[in-house]
Every structure is written in structure tokens, then in C-alpha cells.
């Protein structure tokens, strides 16, 4: 029965199905583990031991694996992540080559926005569809405390450049931290509405390199919604509109603009997950919180055929667990931090 289910097709391509019937159509591709910020919830101030260049997938290897995923495995959407993906020298060329694939996947990027002012137009021309930009605060001093860098204005300029280039809808991801920016939810939403950005709050997840995450005191989805409702009327958009998207969304003051909350910790959405993840060094991860990986790089560099690589990818996803297990007392935080995994 397992082999029968793995052989199901979508428009002639084998799909990445798991034992719970979930089909992965969304590929997250980490292009680098490096970052030009040092966010407190991600990595220590001194940074991390970066991957050696020979361990990273080359541009050609990345494009080949994405091509394989699209043509052999039913992938419909590709999200480029990092670290900070704009630090990848060949990014524009990778986007252009993926845009030429048949069928063409939807393409987006998750970035801290610092390099967007100089790259937004080129990325749009190459074929990128939209961007997700991380910005946790409207206060430059708080930004400096959170990221250990004085680059707040660069992010704001990057957001404007993305909007002007047509990389829309421009989505803004915000993480609220106790004692730093936990009071900013209403101000962030008012600002996002003013600029026509789609704001999404994300609960802090246990993916920091320091393993300092604590559930106690975490700013939860419930806290965020209560704060937003002190200034705005929120109407639940409903599960029917959400689909497999990680964000629960609410219409703001009757709409049409919306705000989202990704409650990975307190309201996990694992049952509808449609994602598969490729790290910058060519490992398949079935979940952000997975403690195991499957090495595609070694197979790729050994001269394996596309079908051999695709079959290993299928087997990896077939073993995907039911959920992240954050509420399980036996939960173990992954050794690899978010910068290596790709958010």
C-alpha cells in the first residue's frame, strides 16, 4: 500500500506524499546560512561557524534540484530563504533560471530586507513574484537591540523598493519579544495598513542557536490578538480561506486588508503542512523541527540520475512525522539553528 500511495501522480508527476496523506507542493530552498544581522532569537552576537563553500550547493545544483522537484515531484511554489538569501551572489541568476522552468513555479523570497533597495527591481525582472520581509519593530533603538545592527532604515527602504518594483503583496513578518517590542502589535498593524503591506506576526520558535528559547513568558497568538483588538476590529477569515497557509488571518475593521498570526507553538498547523525543505548544503528536511535529514548532495555529486534523486526525496517525505511535537515532553530542539535550516 505504501508504494501504491507514493506512486500517485499529479498532472503526470510523482508527488511528495507522506503516510498521513499530506502532499508537499511548497519547496523552501535555503541559499546560504550566512546573515548580516544577529537577531537575538536566531543566533549569538558573535555569529556562527558558517558552512564551508565546498559544502554549499552550487547555483547549477540548486537549479537542477528545483527543476527535478517541479517536473518529477509536483512542486508548485518555491520560497528562497537563508540565512539571508540576498547574500547569495548568484541569486538573480537562479531566479531567472527557475522562472524559465516548465511548469513555472510561483517564486517568493524571505529576507531581512537590507539588500532589497538595490536588488528588488532586478529580482522582479528575473521573475520573482513577491517578498516576505522580516521587521519586528518600528523603533530604530529596539531594532538595534534585537538585531545587534543599526540597519532599521535600510529595511524600510527595502520594503518601499519591493513595493515599487511590484513584488506584491509585500508581506511583513514580525516576532514579538517580552520586554522589547511586545507592546508594538497595534502600531505595527497601523503602519502596515498605511503602506499596504500584509502583516503577519510569528510566535517565537525554538530554533535559536543558543537554545535559550523558553515557553514561559513567550508572546503568544492570544496575547497578540488581544493587543490588536485594543485598537482594531478583527473578523476571523475562517479555515476555508486559510487552506494550507501557516497564518490564521483576520479582516481588519471589516476589510479588505488583513492581518495574520502564525502560531507555530500554541496553535500548530502540522495537519495541513504542504512544505518540504532543502538546506544550503543539500539536505532534505521534512519539518523545521526535524532532528533528521536526508542527504541529496552526496547523491547529486555521485552522478545519480534525476529519478534516483527524486526517489530518495520521496522516501524522505514519506517518513514525515505527524507533527512538530512542541507540546510533547520529549521534544528536542534541533541542533541546527534556523539560519542553517532556512525559515
Binding residues for S-adenosyl-L-methionine: 41, 83, 134, 205
Residue closest to 300 by CA, chosen among 309, 291, 288: 309
Measured distance CA(126)–CA(95) in Å, rounded: 6
Of 226, 264, 220, give the one whose Cα is nearest residue 245: 264
Cell numbers found for residue 24: 508537499
Contact 162, 120 (CB under 8 A): yes
What DSSP character marks residue 174?
E
- Output the CA torsion 224→226→229→234 (10° steps): 70
CB 152 within 8 A of CB 140: yes
The grid coordinates listed for 315 are 522516501
Binding site residues, as ranges? Answer: 28, 35, 39, 41-42, 79, 83, 110, 134, 171, 205, 270, 273, 275-277, 287
Q: Whose grid coordinates read 547569495?
A: 88
Rounded CA gap, 61 and 84, in Å?
A: 19
Give the annotated binding-site residues for GTP.
28, 79, 110, 171, 275-277
For residue 157, which of 186, 185, 119 has the smallest C-alpha distance? 119
Binding-site residues for [4Fe-4S] cluster:
35, 39, 42, 270, 273, 287
Nearest residue to 65 (alpha-carbon basis) of 94, 106, 108:
94
Answer yes or no: are the C-beta atoms of 48 and 209 closer than 8 Å: yes
Amino acid at each position: 500500500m505504501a508504494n501504491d500511495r507514493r506512486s500517485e501522480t499529479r498532472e503526470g508527476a510523482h508527488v511528495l506524499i507522506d503516510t498521513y496523506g499530506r502532499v508537499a507542493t511548497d519547496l523552501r530552498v535555503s541559499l546560504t546560512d550566512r546573515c548580516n544581522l544577529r537577531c537575538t532569537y536566531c543566533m549569538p552576537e558573535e555569529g556562527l561557524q558558517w558552512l564551508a563553500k565546498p559544502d554549499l550547493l552550487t547555483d547549477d545544483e540548486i537549479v537542477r534540484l528545483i527543476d527535478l522537484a517541479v517536473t518529477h515531484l509536483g512542486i508548485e511554489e518555491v520560497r528562497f530563504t537563508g540565512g539571508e538569501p540576498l547574500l547569495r551572489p548568484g541569486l538573480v541568476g537562479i531566479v531567472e533560471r527557475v522562472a524559465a522552468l516548465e511548469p513555472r513555479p510561483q517564486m517568493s523570497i524571505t529576507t531581512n530586507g537590507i539588500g532589497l533597495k538595490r536588488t528588488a527591481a532586478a529580482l522582479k525582472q528575473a521573475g520573482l513574484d513577491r517578498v516576505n520581509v522580516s521587521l519586528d519593530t518600528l523603533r530604530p533603538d529596539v531594532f538595534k537591540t534585537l538585531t545587534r545592527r543599526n540597519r532599521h532604515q535600510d529595511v524600510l527602504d527595502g520594503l518601499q523598493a519591493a513595493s515599487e518594483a511590484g513584488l506584491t503583496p509585500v508581506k511583513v513578518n514580525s516576532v514579538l519579544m517580552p520586554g522589547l517590542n511586545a507592546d508594538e502589535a497595534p502600531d505595527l498593524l497601523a503602519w502596515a495598513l498605511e503602506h499596504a503591506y500584509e502583516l503577519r506576526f510569528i510566535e517565537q520558535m525554538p530554533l535559536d542557536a543558543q537554545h535559550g528559547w523558553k515557553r514561559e513568558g513567550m508572546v503568544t497568538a492570544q496575547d497578540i490578538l488581544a493587543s490588536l483588538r485594543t485598537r482594531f476590529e478583527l473578523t476571523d477569515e475562517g479555515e476555508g480561506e486559510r487552506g494550507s497557509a501557516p497564518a490564521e488571518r483576520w479582516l481588519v475593521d471589516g476589510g479588505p486588508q488583513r492581518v495574520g498570526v502564525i502560531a507555530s507553538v500554541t496553535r500548530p498547523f502540522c495537519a495541513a503542512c504542504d512544505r518540504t525543505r532543502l538546506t544550503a548544503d543539500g539536505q532534505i528536511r521534512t519539518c523545521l523541527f526535524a532532528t533528521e535529514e536526508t542527504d541529496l548532495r552526496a547523491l547529486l555529486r555521485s552522478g545519480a540520475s534525476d529519478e534516483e534523486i527524486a526517489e530518495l526525496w520521496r522516501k524522505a517525505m514519506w517518513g514525515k512525522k505527524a507533527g512538530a511535537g512542541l507540546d510533547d515532553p520529549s521534544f528536542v530542539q534541533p541542533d541546527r539553528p534556523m539560519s542553517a535550516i532556512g525559515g
